[in-house]
Amino acid sequence: MRHRKYQSPCLALLLVLLISCAGADKRDNAPGPDSSRGRAEGWAKIFDDDIALARDRALDDARKKLVENILGTTISGKKIVENYRLVSSIVEARIFGLVKDEKIVKDWQEDSLYKVILEGTVEAAAIDEIVKKAITDYGRPKFLVLIEETIEGKQSRPGFTETEIVIQNFMGEAGFDFVDNATVKDLMSRESSRMKRALSGDMAQDVQELLLNKNGAEVVITGTVTVTDQSKILTEYNISNMLSKSAIIKLKAVDVYTGSVLAAASKQAAGLHIDAATAAKYAIENSLKQITGKEEDGLIKTGPFIDTIARKFIEATSRRQISVSVAGLDYNDMMKFRNALAQRIRGTHEVLARGQSGKYAVLDVYFAGKSSQFADELSAKSENFGFAIEILDSYPNRLIIKAQRIK
């Protein structure tokens, strides 16, 4: 499908082409016109007398602070600072390389801390690219739509409704992806119990397994639509050849990862036509325009319902819970492995032990990004901190790995 252009207060960056940095002279790395140079102090705790690791983490901390400082002072930086804050945890996990022409002014150990003063150049345009890419990658979750529709007493179950088609057509034009209708119909037939629970917003583990891990649905839009006839109103205006229908639509969007409600809306609108079915369709479309957005002069303008979903989904993604099952490590090795994940995998906020039996353990990892990115980081770095690992299975919210301590 060819996506049309669109406008949105929160999501305008989603499909905007990434800004090119070709204007900078790459041969001599000369800073661009929106560059700034500055200094920042970073620090990190020293674990297990590993000075080299603490120094690296202190440098990362200084880079992060330098980027934040310069974004707050440059003209071009101020334009993106709001979006930067929205995706700051995700950007922080990829902060390496954003500071150019680095110079360590001073570094030293102070008790259990390692500190560094870093001087460097930051180009706001480069940050802008990463921010836009983060919004594009994380602000467009895959949707599944389940609507209960009643048109003048005739009920249609989810997967078979006019409202679902209208929502998917509009949001599809804006660049969003969906679980297709044929799959939804099949799921409603084969997995009616779990799909009914999904319709009610229940995202228990078995529902997550079905929607997220097997079908890739990250956000479920559920709701009800009721269409009634109000043609008698037209007689007051001596209009006898038209039919009027009224649609009341109530929608909510649920994060499949957590079960939390991202957005909710309720609107009513009328539709006119000589044909009853067409008038009902227009009423549904007119109601949805107030919720999801509309097309104006060839531009797709998303509404607050979609904008709120994207913003809150990005915020949730910056600290996404990933269940990690680990086989092959005894308790002592698992403790070292757990500490290594927390200290050496960029983007990791927290690692919690859920339990261990023999050489099998389950961890909850809170990570700024997707499970696939966590798995990539882990695969690339595990040998450096003393573990050989094998990724056995990878899902959007779960990893199963085999690990062995390198002696």
pLDDT reading at 339 higher than 50? yes
Q: What is the C-alpha R_g of the chain?
A: 26
How large is the average pLDDT for residues 184-192? 93
Residues of the chain with CATH 3.30.70.60: 319-405
pLDDT in tens, 131-163: 888 888 887 899 999 999 999 999 988 888 989
Per-residue pLDDT, averaged over 2-17, amounts to 41
Give the helix ranges, DSSP H, for 140-270.
Answer: 162-173, 181-190, 192-199, 205-208, 232-235
Return mean pLDDT, the chain.
85
pLDDT of residue 116 exceeding 90: yes
Is the model's pLDDT at 75 over the cut of 70? no
Question: Could you give the angle at the alpha carbon of 256 between the alpha carbons of 250 and 258, nearest 5°?
Answer: 105
Query: For the residues 173-189, what does the mean pLDDT come to?
Result: 89
Determine the pLDDT at residue 254.
96
Query: Across the strands, what pairs with 254?
Result: 220, 261
* pLDDT tens track for 25-41: 333 344 444 568 899 99
Q: Which residue has the tokens 């107030």?
A: 290
Residue 385 is classified by DSSP as G
**Both structure tokens of 343:** 């200290």
Kindly list the distances between the CA atom of residue 396 and the CA atoms of 102, 170, 319, 327, in Å, as whole numbers in the listed order.
36, 26, 14, 19
Q: Residue 270: its pLDDT value, please?
A: 93
For domain 143-316, the CATH class is alpha beta
Check residue 47 and give its pLDDT: 80
pLDDT tens profile 243-253: 999 999 999 99
> What was the pLDDT predicted at 9?
44
Q: How far apart are CA 101 and CA 29, in angstroms?
A: 9
Instruction: Tally Cβ neighbours within 10 Å of residue 83.
Output: 21
Q: How confident is the model at residue 347 (pLDDT cuts 50, 70, 90)?
A: confident
HSE, side-chain direction, 13 A CA sphere, residue 8: 30
Give strand ranges (E) for 26-98. 35-45
Q: Residue 358 carries which DSSP code? A: T
pLDDT score, position 96: 66
Give CA–CA dist 112/44, Å, rounded. 9
Lowest mean pLDDT among 51-65, 93-107, 206-220, 239-253: 93-107
The CATH code belonging to domain 31-137 is 3.30.1660.40
**Within 13 Å of residue 404, how many CA atoms lie on the same side as its CB?**
4
The pLDDT of residue 15 is above 50: no
The per-residue pLDDT for 124 is: 80
Q: Is the pLDDT of residue 378 over 90?
A: yes
pLDDT of residue 151: 92
Of residues 209 and 10, more confidence is placed in 209
In the predicted model, is pLDDT for residue 21 greater than 70?
no
pLDDT digits (tens, 9 = 90+) for 283-305: 999 999 999 888 777 777 888 89
What pTM does this model have? 0.76
C-alpha closest to that of 122 among 14, 225, 40, 23: 40
Instruction: Specify burial of residue 296 (Cβ count, 10 A radius: 0-12, 13-18, 19+).
Output: exposed
Q: What phi and psi values does residue 318 have, to the nearest 5 degrees?
A: -70, -10
386: left (phi over 0), alpha (psi -120 to 50) or beta: left
CA-wise closest residue to 341 among 358, 356, 354, 353: 353
**How far lies 175's CA from each of 81, 141, 244, in Å?**
24, 10, 32
Q: Is the pLDDT of residue 238 over 80?
A: no
C-alpha pair distances (Å), 285 with each of 7, 57, 220, 255, 268: 19, 53, 20, 25, 10
pLDDT classification of 1: cutoffs 50, 70, 90: very low
Greater model confidence, 310 or 2: 310
Neighbours of 271 (CB within 10 A): 21
CA atoms of 281 and 273, how far apart (whole Å): 10
- 319-405, CATH topology level: Alpha-Beta Plaits (3.30.70)
- Lateral strand order in the sheet of 113-123: 35-45, 113-123, 99-110
More confident position, 166 or 361: 361
Average pLDDT value for residue range 64-80: 78
Model confidence over 41-58: pLDDT tens digits?
Answer: 999 988 878 888 888 889
Question: What is the per-residue pLDDT for 299?
Answer: 73
Inter-residue contact 249 to 259 (CB < 8 Å) = no
Q: In the chain, where does the domain assigned CATH 3.40.50 lie?
A: 143-316
Locus of tokens 């599944």: 144
User: Which residues make up the CATH 3.30.1660.40 domain(s) of the chain?
Assistant: 31-137
Percent of the chain with pLDDT over 70: 89
| 63/127 Cα distance (integer angstroms) | 12
Q: Is the pLDDT of residue 328 over 90?
A: yes
Per mean pLDDT, which of 74-88, 193-207, 226-240 is the most reliable?
Answer: 193-207
